[in-house]
A = this chain, B = another copy of it.
Amino acid sequence: MNELMLKGERAKQASFCLSSMSSGQKDKALTEIARMLVERTEEILDANSIDVENAENKGITGALIDRLTLTSERVKSMANGLLDISELPDPVGEVISMWKRPNGLLIGKQRVPIGVIGIIYEARPNVTADVAGLSLKTGNAVILRGGSEAINSNKAVVTIINDVLCRLNFPEGAVQLIEDTSRQTAAQMMKLNRYIDVLIPRGGSGLIQAVIENSTIPVIKTGTGNCHVYVDGESDIKMAEDIIVNAKTDRPGVCNAAETLLVDSAIAQQFLPPALQRLKDMNVELRGCETTRKIFGGVKTATEEDWHTEYLDYILAVKVVKGIDEAIEHINKYGSGHSEAIVTADYSNAQRFLQQVDAAAVYVNASTRFTDGGEFGFGAELGISTQKLHARGPMGLKELTTVKYIVYGSGQIR
């Protein structure tokens, strides 16, 4: 049994014990970890500065360095995240429904921890505390495999977590970090279906694709968002303008930002010039279909690839369509099933869009930017699922649980 399998075995054993822990015990651990992260900030920052120096020596710059870098502010915010989680209701143990069968059997469907969660993620060390917190709260053991860039920071954070867990008599193996950040180890981890119940990749689409293709563990796919805003022929033009500007520019680097604007040809002449001017003034690069380019100058030609692309940047593709049917068809063909919005004053078009668009979240007259655990009222969030099994849309604490049927009998046989 190699090191990784040992970790798997330890996590499995820990999960049996964690599943019986009370909400009080788990919340106590979360608040204590939060306190110790702040108290031992220096330790974390020292480790982090090694990571940052190594990254800089490798020639890494800009956004990646920024994501990697911790400050005492950022450690504080990691700690606050854990305190927030501790205040949420514990989903474990809830009996969702219970019914009596004609033979007298009383059958209950109860929410229980999933067991062992595996996470493969990239350079942001705050994910370590975040995911450990969500897992502990829901009674799951977790195996973390962060990126090599953040390894020293991750080790420091996990050491502090485990010091607290040990002091509070949590089982060894509740939170484990894979310190070997080689690709081979990640590949081995993806085959540990004997120990790990669900694997969640968090990072770029390359990472997610690799996990989907190689994992024998059930995977939850998160994050890719090629989102659209469709402006219907009958719509409030000012509202439509505000929504596309917000959906594109509020935070272009996140998955719920809009990437393509679809406009009904009936309203294009009237809507596009002021809306595109406003976007242009905000430094959004526009790539449009031929009709768009005729209506508004300075728009580059959109290619087939543009309709497929999640820019995550100040770029917007624009297409004039022949009404709602073409809009829905375009979205179902090119969208990633994340968040889709229609702006319309027409009742039946609103209902059709909600029904026929195949996505995790479908909006009428609101920005796609609301697809978020916090905005939905779930509190914490582990990511946004764009697949259809188990979890779809923002994943809160409930999505880190499964169910078990508990059956009370009095000697029934079949």
List residues of chain A with CB under 8 Å of any chain B CB: 16, 19-20, 99, 101, 105, 107, 114-115, 193, 197-198, 212-213, 216, 218-220, 236, 239, 242-243, 245-247, 250, 332, 354-356, 358-367, 369-371, 375-377, 387-390, 392-393, 402-414
Q: Which residues of the other chain, B, contact A219 by a CB distance below 8 angstroms? A: 218
Asked whether, in the complex, the Cβ of A198 is within 8 Å of the Cβ of B389, the reply is yes
Q: A107-B376, A377-B101 are in contact. Are A355 and B19 (CB under 8 A)?
A: yes
Name A's interface SS. mixed
Q: Which residues of the other chain, B, contact A370 by a CB distance below 8 angstroms? A: 105, 407, 412, 414
Q: Which residues of the other chain, B, contact A367 by a CB distance below 8 angstroms? A: 412-414
Asked whether, in the complex, the Cβ of B218 is within 8 Å of the Cβ of A216, the reply is no
Complex: how many Å from CA A198 to CA B389?
8
Q: Which residues of the other chain, B, contact A361 by a CB distance below 8 angstroms? A: 404-405, 407
User: Closest CB-CB distance, A329 to chain B, in whole Å?
Assistant: 9
Complex: how many Å from CA A365 to CA B103?
13
Q: Which residues of the other chain, B, contact A218 by a CB distance below 8 angstroms? A: 218-219, 387-389
Complex: how many Å from CA A388 to CA B403?
8
Asked whether, in the complex, the Cβ of B107 is within 8 Å of the Cβ of A389, the reply is no
Asked whether, in the complex, the Cβ of A411 is within 8 Å of the Cβ of B250, the reply is no
Q: Which residues of the other chain, B, contact A243 by a CB distance below 8 angstroms? A: 411, 413
Q: A355-B20, A404-B360, A405-B360 are in contact. Are A197 and B388 (CB under 8 A)?
A: yes
